[in-house]
Chain A
């Protein structure tokens, strides 16, 4: 079955999480895709590949998907590269999307390069911002309008690069969880649903990978959705001192985050790491305790609505983006914050 529809829409590959639902990062990309599609005046399409997609339509509908492609087959979950790559590549060849977005998850980063290689198109990993812009190729005097500017940190986070794919389609990008906001549309319509005939999309040799065993742990810590984060750095000094952060978090109804230096020092677990190689957060309030504010850390928390920094070094870079810069030590300040919170909170 070939869909008799117009081309040049925006596509999101929706990943099925370990829990069997559409992954948060994919819903965030639908939100972004919806916005981009609106700006271009095109439709938003999504493809979901898995083994039990009964609830999928319900899950993606609130994010404004116009056209939904479902590929359902027992062999398609858990994810393996080749069948997913074949389906996505073939679908993209048929639909010729203008833009294709995938989560920068282990799955997305396994799948996207394989698909980009098949389609011989450009791919930009780990984008932190996606906007439209123009381009003038001076050498050939060609003008481009509404190219996707794929903006990402490079060189260990020390510079920000804007990447474009002028001549190949789709313009493909991966984005990490938490980078894009999640927003439902106001009056979502039912998407047009196409059930793909999986046999027509996969190749015979695609099911060569045998999953012998899987041990997936339950998601224990996830601070990406937290409204208040008390985050600790190397300056907290010890795992014992980190308890103060948990205490404050407890009274505030907050979660605890950390810098990489704190995680490396063993003060807390990796799941809490905020930044370029950790999670991206955008809480109402971010309390940075003993964090210097290296670019790689700020990359993961600069969009917090309010930032409080606690640091005896007035010159610490974190203070540049702090709303309140407390010149002091964590050991001194946190107990006082707890005390006065208790005094005034009802």
Chain B
């Protein structure tokens, strides 16, 4: 038995480590100061796919991302860890996409890669924390969705059984294939890079990267042995440009503000018996406690 599994991966700014220097004086985020990382739950998604391949070695695991040229980094990273191939959807026209336009574009890419058995996204990306793209890709592809997937319990060509992590427990569900899953952070962490694969794929490049690296890319004789990462633009996909990017995004950002808290005139107290005694007395007389 073998499967074809598509994994959606996204490169995101590392919002978990926002230092002082990452905020500009005007209160906006200095994206440049944040390292770009592999979205954490997309790593869980990749591992979920690679596990299937462990059991069914003829399985093909393909990652797909929409982003600028530098997002090819996470396609290579996926290949070091076991993915067979990767696709980069990149075009100026994709810029400014909200989740609806993003899912429209990714669904078009997924359609071009059909047939597949399972498509796995991360639950959410840490730059927006929306958790919308997975379900929206499923809707665009008219496939059922299983969100918060923690583990694939059983898989056959016709049916998949998945354990889901909910707020207060777990649920096991079964559904026919093909299906869209979104991987929860409680799923197994991704395996590390494999040294052989690192050597094999470290020169994998998209055409855009090769153009940047080579002065005259029509003369890329020395780059022949390089594994090519496929790059798709608007022209490669069966899509309506009106549904893309800023134009295709119903949500608009009206305003971005720094987080400001109203500074209160606080009463400063010491840890002395007198201070604490007075505080407790005050709280009781003013009925805050007691």
Interface string of B243-261 (1 = CB under 8 A from A): 0000001111111111101
> Are B15 and A158 in contact, CB atoms less than 8 angstroms apart?
yes
Would A209 and B173 be within 8 Å (CB), given that A110-B147, A161-B256 are in contact?
yes
- Shortest distance between the CB of B49 and any CB in chain A (Å): 21
A157 at the interface (CB under 8 A from B): yes
The residue that A326 contacts in the complex, of B262, B275, B283, with Cβ under 8 A, is: B275
> Are B266 and A158 in contact, CB atoms less than 8 angstroms apart?
no
> Are B270 and A326 in contact, CB atoms less than 8 angstroms apart?
yes
A contact residues around B261 at 8 Å (CB): 298, 302, 320-321
- Shortest distance between the CB of A85 and any CB in chain B (Å): 8
Measured CB to CB, the nearest residue on chain A to B269 is A326
Bound-state CA distance A324–B170 (Å) is 42
B contact residues around A58 at 8 Å (CB): none
> Are B250 and A167 in contact, CB atoms less than 8 angstroms apart?
yes
- Shortest distance between the CB of A214 and any CB in chain B (Å): 5
B contact residues around A159 at 8 Å (CB): 27-29, 256-259
Would A322 and B264 be within 8 Å (CB), given that A18-B168, A120-B100, A120-B250 are in contact?
yes
> Are A117 and B254 in contact, CB atoms less than 8 angstroms apart?
no
A contact residues around B18 at 8 Å (CB): 155-156, 158
What total count of A-B pairs have CB within 8 Å? 242
B contact residues around A343 at 8 Å (CB): 277, 280
Measured CB to CB, the nearest residue on chain B to A80 is B173
Within 8 A of A (CB), among B170-209: 170-176
The residue that A341 contacts in the complex, of B16, B130, B289, with Cβ under 8 A, is: B289
- Shortest distance between the CB of A261 and any CB in chain B (Å): 13
Bound-state CA distance A326–B278 (Å) is 12
Bound-state CA distance A323–B270 (Å) is 14
> Are A124 and B251 in contact, CB atoms less than 8 angstroms apart?
yes
Within 8 A of A (CB), among B121-179: 126-136, 138-140, 144-148, 161, 166-176
Interface string of A294-313 (1 = CB under 8 A from B): 01001100100111110000
Interface string of A253-296 (1 = CB under 8 A from B): 00000000000000000000000000000001100000000010
> Are A209 and B172 in contact, CB atoms less than 8 angstroms apart?
no
B103 at the interface (CB under 8 A from A): yes
> Are B266 and A110 in contact, CB atoms less than 8 angstroms apart?
no
Would A122 and B250 be within 8 Å (CB), given that A105-B167, A155-B127, A323-B264 are in contact?
yes
B267 at the interface (CB under 8 A from A): yes
Stretch at the interface among A40-48, A65-73, A328-336: A328-336
Would A156 and B16 be within 8 Å (CB), given that A122-B100, A125-B129, A211-B171 are in contact?
yes
A149 at the interface (CB under 8 A from B): yes
Stretch at the interface among A5-13, A91-99, A186-194, A215-223: A215-223
A contact residues around B29 at 8 Å (CB): 155, 158-159
B1 at the interface (CB under 8 A from A): no
> Are A228 and B251 in contact, CB atoms less than 8 angstroms apart?
no
A contact residues around B239 at 8 Å (CB): none
> Are A165 and B267 in contact, CB atoms less than 8 angstroms apart?
no
The residue that B269 contacts in the complex, of A117, A133, A327, A344, with Cβ under 8 A, is: A327
> Are A326 and B281 in contact, CB atoms less than 8 angstroms apart?
no
B108 at the interface (CB under 8 A from A): no
> Are B251 and A114 in contact, CB atoms less than 8 angstroms apart?
no
B219 at the interface (CB under 8 A from A): no
Bound-state CA distance A345–B281 (Å) is 8
> Are B252 and A212 in contact, CB atoms less than 8 angstroms apart?
no
> Are B276 and A327 in contact, CB atoms less than 8 angstroms apart?
no
A contact residues around B250 at 8 Å (CB): 120-122, 165, 167-168
> Are B251 and A345 in contact, CB atoms less than 8 angstroms apart?
no
A contact residues around B253 at 8 Å (CB): 161-163
B220 at the interface (CB under 8 A from A): no
B99 at the interface (CB under 8 A from A): yes
- Shortest distance between the CB of B262 and any CB in chain A (Å): 7
Would you give 5 A-B contacts (Cβ < 8 Å), ordered by A?
A: A110-B135, A123-B130, A149-B254, A156-B16, A228-B289
Extra contacts, 4 of them, besides A106-B147, A155-B29 (Cβ < 8 A), are: A209-B174, A212-B161, A215-B169, A319-B266
Using a CB–CB cutoff of 8 Å, the interface residues on chain A facing chain B are 18, 78, 80-82, 85, 105-106, 109-110, 112-114, 116-118, 120-126, 133, 135, 149, 153-168, 208-219, 228, 252, 284-285, 295, 298-299, 302, 305-309, 314, 319-329, 332-333, 336-337, 340-341, 343-346
**The 3 nearest A-B residue pairs measured at CB:** A328-B271, A156-B15, A122-B250
